[in-house]
Structure 1
Amino acid sequence: AYDTEKAVAIAAVARACQLTHRVFHQLVADQVITKDDQSPVTVADYGAQAVVLHALAAAFPADPVVAEEAIEEGSASAAQLEAVRALVNGVLPTPLALADIKAAINRGAHDPSVDPQGRFWTLDPIDGTKGFLRGDQYAVCLCLIDRGVPQVAVMGGPNLPLSLASTAEAPIHQQAAAPRGALLIAVRGEGVEQRWLDVATGTVREGGVPVQMRATTAPSDAAFVEGVEHGHSDQATQNMVATRLGIRGHVQMDSQCKYAVLARGDADVYLRLPVKPGYREKIWDHAPGVLLVQEAGGIVTDMHGAPLDFTRGRTLVDQQGVIAASAHFHPLVMEVLRDAK
């Protein structure tokens, strides 16, 4: 039902991954980047968003977009904008003027509450900026939401190994080992597939491999996937849940790649528990991952067991936390959280 949307999304995300890969190797790798120097991230964010939103505008001009970035007066220097222009035109077949690139970036200001049952896309052009700067995990994340429900998701992990068994200790950009570059693709009702993404050229191998969550029920064989940045989730509660369930395994990873490794069976539980009472999650941080996990056989809710509602605004209004897990472990996690109240 969404064959055209799927094809356009795959091509757009692959090109955006090619651009972010170039930014890393041209502006980040082998250079000392201070914590305060966000300029490579700014260039990569704007460039990736321009590439994807330009593709969506060409194919689906009536579709609004909810995207993370926007260019406002003074938000980027002339040098940064020139770098964005050069990078975007380095991956597109037809060059764009800077004004057209800015216009593409600024197509992402939609508010879903204006038309809750309408059709729109969500985009996070670089999720996991600290992982990006380290040469570790980050993701380009695109999702089509129609009538309030995620229908198509494409998540590109330029540094994500096709199998976690190949992950070594050294920073990924210093490794020459197993294939890296994973594209996770889901269409509602059609399951999830993984394809190899050659980030150097932006090409995607035809013929994906179907993936699904593993059927592990023994806590001793199960694993949490958790963020590298501990400030993003309530670690004390997560540790309590792990202890109560007897789950000792854990995989640490930046970005929405956590949803990807969950969907393909590298882990079984992902908790995003609020650390601040009033914090609300951004919808672009979760919509693609929700569809990946659901189509792989898992369950995703907020911490009270309600499905995530992507129609009330650019954030998950009146919802706290995210619980993503296999069909076996999700109800067990919810039971522990209820008992802990």
Structure 2
Amino acid sequence: MHISPPPPPPLLLPLEETTLINHHHQNNSTHNLTHELLIASLAIQRASLLTKRVLQTLTSNNNPSPSPTTCPSTPVTGHPFFPSTTTCLNPTYDPSSRRLSIAKPDASPVTIADFASQALLISTIHHHFPSDTFIGEEDSSSLRHNPDLCSQVFDLVSTTYLSDPAAEALLGPRPGSIPEMLGLIDLGCGRGTRGKRCWSMDPIDGTSAFLKGEQYAVSLALLDGEGRELMGLLGCPNLGIGVVVGGGRIEEGEVDREGWGVMLSAVRGEGCALVRSMGKAGLNKVVKRINRRKGKQREIRTEELHFVDSRVSCATDSGMVEQLARRAGAGRTGERTEIYSSHMRYAAMVLGGREFAQVRFPKRPKGEAAPWCVWDHAGSQLIYTESGAGKVTDLEGRPIDFGTGRKLTNNWGLITADESVHGKILELAGEVLKEAER
């Protein structure tokens, strides 16, 4: 018989946030998501901490940071994951001369951090919400055929802790054996069926950028039984808090190597996005609330648009984005923000301003298999819309449907833009598509 876990200690989530969430959900007669937000926030922080452990092996003195255009192809050798002053970690674990990544069947990389991050995320969420289902990017098949890699992942899962004992205890037990860990990872192979709550996660979004020491994210989203986003959380381990506080732009190669990154989160209906710095202990206080709906908002002109894109993406056509930008009169291509990670592009738009927009033209024609997965977008779209930054639809003006399983089969393409200019971008996108058909 399952025994429900005890209620969370109230002070782990700052009182102002608890009050705000309770007030909203009492007024709207919906489920109180305070507990979910607390658990998910701590889980994202610990998983982000784990990824930084691995990343430090790539940026140690013995292993200089890879160049922006080169991904490491040889085993990483070097030093312990954390400095010796960190007492909550296993000081004997040394990844010397062991591989950090392998290639998936589609040739994209997956690292030990991807597997370990998903194991820890699911372990915590499943402990607290055993009736919920999961959609995750990874499965354990590669680990089951690679004992050495599997051992490395289990070492990471077993030795990554938050230094605050109360916060760590609240996360619940971690897997006690390799078979248990593999089983937890495979819970993420769910189909996301309608009718039950589902947690969508990308344990490392932008693994290629991660291996280069650039911007990447750890994402987690809670979906209701209809596929609607209830909650979104985004750990940005390489994003410096100075970019958030100073109102700067997110840049691929400008990373925070000393700190632990930034977390963005939002709850459906709250009307704002919360931003806090991450650390090694419990949750830090919110440093910024983003609500771009405040005050009278002027319309954004198409010539003001600042496009967020990724030329290196194999799934979308950046040439069409350039055509749209020219039709919009939106300046030169060099003025765009280039970020590989899908979730970090959403973060760039949330933090950048109302003129920041994203248009994604799939390289595959309509009718073929959807090029995008739920975990590449769920959660971050909610953070974007709740912050008041804009509206999200596909290239036909339809809202994104996260209730279709693992793939976004009911949608084709993407437009993310301020509501005042979204309709015009949709019109211009149609013109670009018609031109391509000629």
TM norm structure 1: 0.89
Question: What corresponds to 1:306 in structure 2?
Answer: 398
Shift of 1:338: 2.2
Unpaired runs of 5+ in structure 1? none
Q: What per-residue deviation string (whole Å, max 9, x for no partner) do you get for residues 76-96 of structure 1?
A: 521211111111112245553
- How far the C-alpha of 1:321 sits from its partner, in A, is 1.0
C-alpha deviation, 1:226, in angstroms? 1.1
1:167–1:42 Cα change, 3 Å: closer
Distance across 1 between alignment mates of 2:49 and 2:344: 17
| Residues 28/129 of structure 1: CA separation in 2 closer, same or farther (3 Å cut) | farther
Query: 1:263-315: per-residue Cα shift (whole Å, max 9, x none)?
Result: 22346101222012224110111111211111122111111110111112210
Higher alpha-carbon Rg? 2
SS of equivalent residue, structure 2 residue 403 = coil
Of the three residues 398, 419, 424, the one matched with 1:327 is 419
Q: CA deviation at 1:221?
A: 4.2
Match of 2:364 among 264, 272, 276: 276
In structure 2, which of residues 278, 284, 290 is the aligned counterpart of residue 197 of structure 1? 278
Deviates more, 1:318-327 or 1:158-167: 158-167
Partner SS state of residue 395, structure 2: coil
SS in 2 for 1:123: strand
Shift of 1:27: 5.2
Amino acid at match of 2:178: L
Q: Are residues 250 and 100 of structure 1, via their aligned partners in 2, closer, same or farther at CA, if it must alter by over 3 Å?
A: same
After superposition, the C-alpha distances for 1:33-53 in whole angstroms (9 at most, x for unaligned) are 545978334201110000100
- Provide the C-alpha distance between the structure 2 equivalents of 1:170 and 1:106, rounded to a whole number of angstroms: 33
CA–CA distance in structure 1, aligned partners of residues 142 and 383 of structure 2? 37
The residue that corresponds to 1:151 in the other structure is 230
The residue identity in structure 2 corresponding to 1:6 is L
Displacement after TM superposition at 1:165 (Å): 2.7
- In 1, distance between residues paired with 2:122 and 2:252? 35
Q: Deviations over 1:231-253 (max 9, x none)?
A: 33211210111111122331111
Identity %: 29
1:183 pairs, out of 259, 263, 281, with 263
In 2, distance between residues paired with 1:74 and 1:121?
23
Query: Residue 140 of structure 2: SS of its match in structure 1?
Result: coil
1:103 equivalenced with 2:189 (yes/no): no
Match for residue 377 of structure 2 among 283, 286, 291:
286
Cα deviation digits, residues 197-247 of structure 1 (max 9, x gap): 12xx26431234111459672445431111252433211210111111122
Letter of the structure 2 residue corresponding to residue 270 of structure 1: Q
Q: Is residue 43 of structure 1 aligned with residue 112 of structure 2?
A: yes
Match of 1:254 among 340, 351, 365: 340
- In the TM superposition, 1:20-169 aligns within 5 A as 20-26=51-57, 30=63, 34-35=72-73, 39-40=100-101, 41-72=110-141, 76-92=145-161, 93=168, 96-112=176-192, 114=193, 116-146=194-224, 147-162=226-241, 163=243, 165=248
1:67: Cα distance to partner? 0.6
Greater Cα shift, 244-253 or 223-232: 223-232
Match of 1:223 in 2: 306
TM-score scaled by length of structure 2 = 0.70
The answer to which structure, 1 or 2, has the higher relative contact order (CA under 8 A, 6+ apart) is: 1
Distance 1:253 1:168 in 2: 7
- Structure 2 segments unaligned to the other structure (5+ residues): 1-31, 76-98, 102-109, 162-167
Residues 310 and 318, structure 2, Cα contact 8 Å, conserved in 1:
no
**Amino acid across the alignment from 2:284:** R
Alpha-carbon offset, residue 8 of structure 1: 0.9
Q: Is contact 2:219-2:234 (8 Å) kept? A: yes
> Which whole-Å CA distance do the structure 2 matches of 1:141 and 1:168 have between them?
19
Work out whether 1:18 is the aligned partner of 2:49: yes
Aligned equivalents of 2:248, 2:49: Cα separation in 1: 24
Q: In structure 2, how many angstroms separate the alpha carbons of the residues matched to 1:322 and 1:62?
A: 32
One-letter amino acid of the structure 2 residue matched with residue 285 of structure 1: D
Question: Residue 143 of structure 1: SS of its match in structure 2?
Answer: strand
Measured in 2, the distance between the counterparts of 1:313 and 1:213 equals 32
Give the structure with the higher percent strand: 1
CA RMSD of aligned residues (A): 2.5
**Would the aligned equivalents of 2:269 and 2:386 in 1 still touch at CA under 8 Å?**
yes
Give the letter aligned to residue 120 of structure 1. Answer: C
Asked whether the equivalents of residues 241 and 337 of structure 1 are also in contact (C-alpha less than 8 Å), the reply is: yes
Quick one: which amino acid aligns to residue 217 of structure 1?
I
